[in-house]
Amino acid sequence: MRARWEGVHAALVRSVTTLQADRQFRDARGAEAILGRFESPAGLIEYLTGKAGSLDEKDAIYAALVRTVQARAAWGELAKAILWCGLWPALDGIYRHRLRHFKDDPDELVEAISVAFSTLVGRMELGRVNRVAATLVRSTDRDVMEERRQEWGVQEHHAEPSEEDAKRAEPRTPPRRESELGLPVGLSVDGELGALRGWLLPIGGADTDLLLAVLVLDENQREAADRLGLTHEAARKRFQRALDRVRARLAEALSQSAAETRVSGGARARKPGGAQR
Amino acid sequence: MNEQDQPTPETDPAQFTRLPGLFRRWEIEQVLEPGSDFHIEEAGDASDGTPLFAVYRREPNQKEA
């Protein structure tokens, strides 16, 4: 599953350890004073990914690399590869964390991270950013999930659930063995999200997307609030109230299901007696 | 393949990948292996003044782009 992702890393590492890369780096490092003390791209990456060294200096190095990419310098591609390799541990963390949202096609996640990261490096306004590395990583994660949510939205729009599907997703549907909520089995991740949304909508109402954002898509309440145009305080209160409604409905559905089981079990138990009459 | 068909080392520096670390003159023989092309560059001095070298290797008979 990780083959393509690891292939990207292997290609990046190779690209920064070639004779060409060393020569480019030696010729160009004078343009950015902060890079002058590094003998090769590999040495620079070792410093960036190591625990030793000043975080402020490392961030200034990332800024220098971003500037180089944006200036379309001759060694811009090398600078971009160094950025990738320096931030690889964090980018790999994004990959591992978000993989469950791309179970159907992990290569899509590789593509999404690549596009988001490259776009951010190309467009970042360095004058408005305090922490370059953290901004690149957090924004990459945000953009990957934003695109994923948009895809989910499009798919949901294109595949309006039929009346029968909606009925199946009703909260009062008796729980199936595979899903306590009675969601159809065998769905893709996207399908599950759509079905879950259908299940939540009668309970969550206008707060359904807020619930999904926090409970399923791993956004924190502040991020969800920003995205949905709410204040953090309003989102916090609405999320808590909506969650209480979901819990109450779940408890109701589960107790109803238990009662039905007892009734049907009792009916079966009486049947032999009826046959004797 | 005659001798003229052999790619000349160093014409495409992107084909050569660097071996990790720097090497003293007498350490170089430990990384040389038959069938590969090598490029060796001076890379400063060790603290005791011994010259150090960076060693790059290309897989055998790589076609130039």
Q: Same domain for A141 and A41? A: yes
Range of the domain at A97: 3-155
Which residues from chain A sit within 8 angstroms of residue B14, using beta carbons? 18-21
Q: Same domain for A15 and A135? A: yes
Interface test with B, best of A14, A17, A19 (most B CBs within 10 A): A19
Does B15 contact A18 at a Cβ distance shorter than 8 Å? yes
Q: What is the pLDDT of residues A28-83, one digit of tens each?
A: 888 888 999 998 999 999 999 998 888 889 999 999 999 999 999 999 999 999 99
Q: Same domain for A150 and A170? A: no
- The residue among A155, A187, A209 that closes a domain is A155
Q: What is the pLDDT of residue A219?
A: 66
Interface test with A, best of B16, B36, B39 (most A CBs within 10 A): B16
How many Cα atoms occupy the beta-carbon half-sphere of A154 within 13 Å?
Answer: 6
Q: Same domain for A141 and A189? A: no
Q: Is the dihedral of CA A85, A89, A90, A95 positive or negative?
A: positive
CA distances, A137 to each of A28, A86, A87, A116, A133 (Å): 26, 11, 8, 10, 6
Whole-prediction pTM = 0.61
- The residue among A155, A174, A203 that closes a domain is A155
Q: Same domain for A93 and A55? A: yes
Contacts across the A-B interface (CB distance below 8 Å): 33
> How many domains in chain A?
2
Q: What is the pLDDT of residues A115-168, one digit of tens each?
A: 999 999 999 999 988 889 988 998 999 999 888 887 776 665 555 545 554 444
How many Cα atoms occupy the beta-carbon half-sphere of A263 within 13 Å?
Answer: 6
**Stretch among A39-43, A136-140, A212-216, B24-28 having the lowest mean pLDDT:** A212-216
Q: Same domain for A108 and A172? A: no
Q: What is the mean pLDDT of chain A?
A: 81
- φ and ψ of B57, to 5 deg: -125, 145
Helix (H, G, I), strand (E, B) or coil at B54: strand
- The answer to whether residue A87 scores a pLDDT higher than 90 is yes
Q: Same domain for A147 and A224? A: no
Residue A198: count other Cβ atoms within 10 Å of its Cβ: 20
Q: Same domain for A151 and A228? A: no
| Beta carbons within 8 Å of A20's beta carbon, 6+ residues apart | B12, B13, B14, B16
Q: What is the mean pLDDT of residues A185-213?
A: 76
Q: How far is B23 from chain A (nearest CA, A)?
A: 15
Q: Same domain for A97 and A179? A: no
Structure tokens at A220: 């924190």
H-state helical runs in A71-188? 76-86, 88-98, 106-123, 132-158, 163-168
Q: How far is A134 from chain B (nearest CA, A)?
A: 29
The CA R_g of chain A, rounded to the nearest whole Å, is: 26
Q: How far is CA A149 from the centre of its chain?
A: 9
Q: What is the pLDDT of residues A220-252, one digit of tens each?
A: 788 778 777 888 899 999 999 999 998 888 888
Q: Same domain for A169 and A202? A: yes
Domain positions in chain B = 3-58
Pairing of strands B37-45, B17-18: unpaired
Structure tokens at A94: 């994004």
In B4-63, the residues whose Cβ lies within 8 Å of chain A are 10, 12-18, 20, 39, 41, 43-44, 54, 56
Does B16 contact A39 at a Cβ distance shorter than 8 Å? no
- The residue among A155, A181, A198 that closes a domain is A155
H-state helical runs in chain B? 28-31
Q: Same domain for A141 and A169? A: no
> Helix A232-276 and helix A221-228: axis angle, to 10°?
100
Residue recorded with tokens 């971009």: A80
Q: Same domain for A191 and A142? A: no
Q: How far is B17 from chain A (nearest CA, A)?
A: 4
Question: Is ipTM strictly over 0.85?
Answer: no
Which residues from chain B sit within 8 angstroms of residue A21, using beta carbons? 14
